[in-house]
Amino acid sequence: MDTGDFQGFGVSLKEPGIAWIQFNTPERLNGMTASIKRDLVEVITQIQMDNAVRVVVFTGSGRAFCAGDDLKGYQNAKVAGEPLTRPIGHGHDNHLGTYNGLRTISQRVNTAIRELDKLTIASINGVAIQTGFSLALACDFRIATRGVRMGSATLRFGLLPDEGGQYLLVQHMGVARTMDFIMRKKIVEADEALELGLVHEVVEASALEHRTIELATELANGPQVSMRLMKRSIYNAAEMSWEQSLDEIAAKTAISDHHPDSREGVTAFHEKRAATFNAWLDES
């Protein structure tokens, strides 16, 4: 995985195997451009293939996590940082261009996050709107600073949540609440988001980074093979029948039961000590 400052975000690696992706254009409220999205997909692809990475954290800088697309400079904005991908046309110049831009660039970000086997955390330090909101919803865990505001609110501009926000909201809080949330153009504070099931935890601003690292470390020290299989199984279960889900988890158990991590877990239980997982990663 490449580390450093790229277009619109920085990437660093923290122990034990935590990829830290921080949006770093606070003067734009960390607004997204097509180039930033393409570079994010490239970094996520690298993360998937890098055994040194176990958990991924997304966070922002300044007073925003990500306030959506940079509407003033979506296609032509000059953003500091090293590009990871070559410039291409961004679409949105006509009807078909909008479709292609969404399917080929914008929607790829949340798809890449959801397809990661490794667990992801959105550490929501500030406002999360539209693109930023759907990116947070695509993560497996969300921790928010008390008082931050988040929502889709695309209908305020006559636009749609076109990066999968409607799907993610239905998964997190059901059809009825999603209908109310989107149609009434709601932007809610962190405590209400917690009540709605949109975030897992709310903490004070001073505690956000510490709590995020604490959770990321807990997840990174867990049995990575079983956890990655389990992540996929949970998402699959949301769209499977009972019988399909039983067969799917049985197939994955045939892998996890015979992995060194499971032997270590059983041995540690009998020896009355904490298990030390992931020796296979340390050797790779």
At residue 17's C-alpha, the angle toward residues 14 and 19, to 5°, is 60
Verify that 143 and 266 share a domain, yes or no: no
Cβ of 180: how many Cβ atoms within 10 Å?
12
Query: Above 60 in pLDDT, residue 137?
Result: yes
pLDDT confidence of residue 73: 57
Whether the upstream peptide bond of residue 16 has omega within 30° of 0, thus cis, is yes
Verify that 187 and 257 share a domain, yes or no: no
pLDDT band per the 50, 70, 90 thresholds, residue 153: confident
pLDDT confidence of residue 74: 54
Verify that 118 and 14 share a domain, yes or no: yes
Final residue belonging to a domain, choices 198, 220, 242: 220
Verify that 66 and 94 share a domain, yes or no: yes
Q: Which amino acid is at 241?
A: S
Verify that 102 and 185 share a domain, yes or no: yes
Query: Above 90 in pLDDT, residue 82?
Result: no
Query: Above 70 in pLDDT, residue 284?
Result: no
pLDDT confidence of residue 76: 60
Contact, 187 vs 153, CB < 8 A? Answer: yes
The mean pLDDT of 206-230, rounded to a whole number, is 98
pLDDT band per the 50, 70, 90 thresholds, residue 38: very high
Sheet with 64-66, side-by-side order of all strands: 64-66, 127-129, 149-151, 187-189
Task: Quote the CA–CA distance of 24 and 112 in Å, as a whole number.
Answer: 21
Final residue belonging to a domain, choices 220, 237, 267: 220
Verify that 200 and 114 share a domain, yes or no: yes
Verify that 160 and 49 share a domain, yes or no: yes
Verify that 216 and 259 share a domain, yes or no: no
Please provide residue 121's backbone torsions phi and psi, each rounded to the nearest 5 degrees. -130, 130
The mean pLDDT of 32-37, rounded to a whole number, is 93
The mean pLDDT of 219-223, rounded to a whole number, is 97
The alpha carbon of 201 is separated from its chain's Cα centroid by a whole number of angstroms, namely: 15
pLDDT band per the 50, 70, 90 thresholds, residue 80: confident
Verify that 87 and 213 share a domain, yes or no: yes
The mean-pLDDT minimum among 47-56, 93-102, 167-176, 265-274 falls in 93-102
Three-state SS annotation for 198-238:
CCCEEECHHHHHHHHHHHHHHHHCCCHHHHHHHHHHHHHHC
Final residue belonging to a domain, choices 220, 248, 264: 220
pTM: predicted TM-score of the whole model, two decimal places: 0.95
pLDDT confidence of residue 75: 57
Task: Quote the CA–CA distance of 11 and 62 in Å, as a whole number.
Answer: 17
Tokens of 31: 């607004």
Verify that 10 and 52 share a domain, yes or no: yes
The mean-pLDDT minimum among 87-91, 134-138, 269-273 falls in 87-91
For the domain that residue 263 is a member of, what is the CATH number? 1.10.12.10
pLDDT confidence of residue 91: 84
Three-state SS annotation for 144-182:
EECCCEEECCHHHHCCCCCCCHHHHHHHHHHHHHHHHHH
Number of compact structural domains in the chain: 2
- pLDDT tens per residue, range 168-206: 999 999 999 999 999 999 999 999 999 999 999 999 999
Query: Above 90 in pLDDT, residue 13?
Result: yes
Verify that 199 and 61 share a domain, yes or no: yes
Tokens of 33: 């451009």
- Domain span at residue 189? 4-220
The mean pLDDT of 243-257, rounded to a whole number, is 97
pLDDT confidence of residue 72: 65
* Average pLDDT of every residue of the chain: 94
Task: Quote the CA–CA distance of 261 and 267 in Å, as a whole number.
Answer: 10
Verify that 119 and 246 share a domain, yes or no: no
For the domain that residue 132 is a member of, what is the CATH number? 3.90.226.10
